[in-house]
Chains A and B, each alone.
Chain A
Amino acid sequence: MCSLEKRGSLFVLTLTGDGQHRLNPTLLDGISAALCSVKSEASGGPSALITTAQGNFFSNGYDIAWAKSGGPAAATNDRLLLMSSKFRSIIGELISLPMPTIAAVTGHATAAGFIFALCHDYILMRKDKGFLYMSELEISLPVPAYVIAVLRSKIGSPAARRDVMMRAAKLTAEAAVDRGIIQSAHDSAEETVVAAVKFGEELVRRKWDGHVYGQIRMVMLADVLSTLSYDDILEDPGQLEKLESRL
């Protein structure tokens, strides 16, 4: 589901296969294990993480189909909460990771998949295909506070946040560069990864202390960190009923 390789000083985490890389517990556990590996191997010297994906999708968000296929409503709730909990844990890992992080977005990044990309320090994306898209409004799903916290910490313009969250805009890479959401747009998936690797190497040459880097990032994203211990939609009985009727 995901692979981790070392290229020189860089770690490359790839969501493998041609699927939608839905964030189900299996993939989330795979990502979590990879991040753990990265952290423990990082003490060797300056490093950076590049996250990318094979196929047409970067990630299409939570595995709602898997959540629904557990049987009764209570089981759906448990499955959604499991995915939310594991994902929030990964966000925490990414925010504390003792090295720069770069998302090389090589396909669609939707809902939690878009949030996953946003939780990296830099986003590079292909311009020939693929959208960044918060789909929740169009599938009538309420949005938890931790998602909004990530958006606010990464998208500065209130109008851009409104377009993303309240207009369900489908943003191409170039539109995302214009709105200050991503760093740069590249001609193809391969070009995006090449650019991400090159940029990663540039950052590694600065020889920053990874722990100081991680500490600074944690202070900058303190508002996000404070939302990660709780999912206010799935853990609130009132919201939960409405959610289940929507799925």
Chain B
Amino acid sequence: MCSLEKRGSLFVLTLTGDDQHRLNPTLLDAISAALHRVRSEASGASTALITTAYGKFFSNGYDLAWGKSGGPAAATKDRLILMSSKFRSVIRELISLPMPTIAAVTGHASAGGFIFALCHDYILMRKDKGFLYMSELDISLPVPAWFITVLEAKIGSPAARRDVMLRAAKLTAEAAVDRGIIQSAHDSAEETVVAALTLGEKLVSKKWDGQVYGQIRMVMLADLLSTVSSDETGEDPVHVNVVVSRL
């Protein structure tokens, strides 16, 4: 479901396979394990993480089909809570990771997938295909407050946040650059990964102390760290019932 390799000083985490890389417990556990390995193998040397994916999708968000297929509503609720909990754990890992993080977005990033990309320090994306898209409004799914906190931490313009969240805008890489949401747009998936590696190497050459880097990021994203500890759409009965009924 995902692979981790070292290229020079850089770690490259790839969501493998041609599917939608839906954030189900299996993939989330694999990402979590990869991040743990990155942390332990980094051991003081200057490094950076690049996250990318094969196929047409970066990630299409939570595995709602898996969520629904457990049987009765109570089981759906439990599955949604499980995915949310594991995803928030991954986000905490990313925010405390003692090195720069770069998302090389090589396909569609929707809902949770878009949030996952946003939780990296830099986003590079292919411009020839693929959208950034918060789909919840279009599928009538409530949005947890912590998603909004990610948006607030990473998208500075209120109008851009409104377009993303309240207009369900499908943003190409170039539109995302214009709105200050991503760093740069590249001609193809391969170009995007090459550019991400180049940026990674440039950042590594600064020889920053990874622990200090991680600490600074945690202070900057303190608001996010405090909201990521809970998800009212999974834990608050009123919200949960709405979500379950909409699937």
Contact = CB atoms under 8 A, between A and B. Distances in A.
Interface of A: 100, 121-122, 153-156, 180, 183, 203, 206, 208-209, 212-213, 215-217, 219-220, 222
A215 B162 CA distance: 13
Q: How large is the interface on B (under 10, 10 to 19, 20 to 34, 35 or more residues)?
A: 10 to 19
B194 interface: no
A175 to B, nearest CB: 15
A36 to B, nearest CB: 22
Interface in B155-170: 156-159, 161-162, 165-168
A219 B148 contact: yes
Nearest to B146: A219
Given A121-B162, A206-B168, A216 B142 contact: yes
A181 to B, nearest CB: 8
Contact of B158 (A100, A154, A206): A154
A220 B163 CA distance: 12
A121 to B, nearest CB: 6
DSSP majority for the B interface? loop
Given A121-B162, A212-B141, 4 more contacts: A100-B166, A156-B159, A206-B168, A216-B142
A208 B157 contact: no
B26 interface: no
A209 B141 CA distance: 9
A212 B142 contact: yes
Nearest to B232: A219
B230 to A, nearest CB: 13
Interface string B131-142: 000001110111
Nearest to B167: A203
A156 B137 contact: no
B143 interface: yes
Most B CB within 10 A of own CB, among A156, A213, A216? A216
Contacts of A219: 143, 145, 148
B162 A209 contact: no
A215 B142 contact: yes
Nearest to B159: A180
A208 B138 contact: yes
Contact of B165 (A180, A209, A220): A220
B166 A220 contact: yes
A212 B143 CA distance: 8
Given A208-B137, A209-B140, A222-B145, A216 B158 contact: no
Contacts of B158: 153-156, 180
B204 to A, nearest CB: 32
B166 A180 contact: no
Closest 8 A-B residue pairs measured CB to CB? A209-B140, A156-B157, A212-B140, A156-B158, A219-B148, A156-B156, A219-B145, A216-B143
A101 B157 CA distance: 19
Nearest to B161: A220
Contacts of A212: 136-137, 140-142
Contacts of B148: 219-220, 222
Contacts of B142: 212, 215-216
Nearest to B155: A156
Nearest to A215: B142
B62 to A, nearest CB: 16
B165 A216 contact: yes
A42 B77 CA distance: 30
A217 B166 contact: yes
Contacts of B136: 212, 216
A183 B167 CA distance: 13
A208 B162 contact: no
B236 to A, nearest CB: 12
A206 B139 CA distance: 11
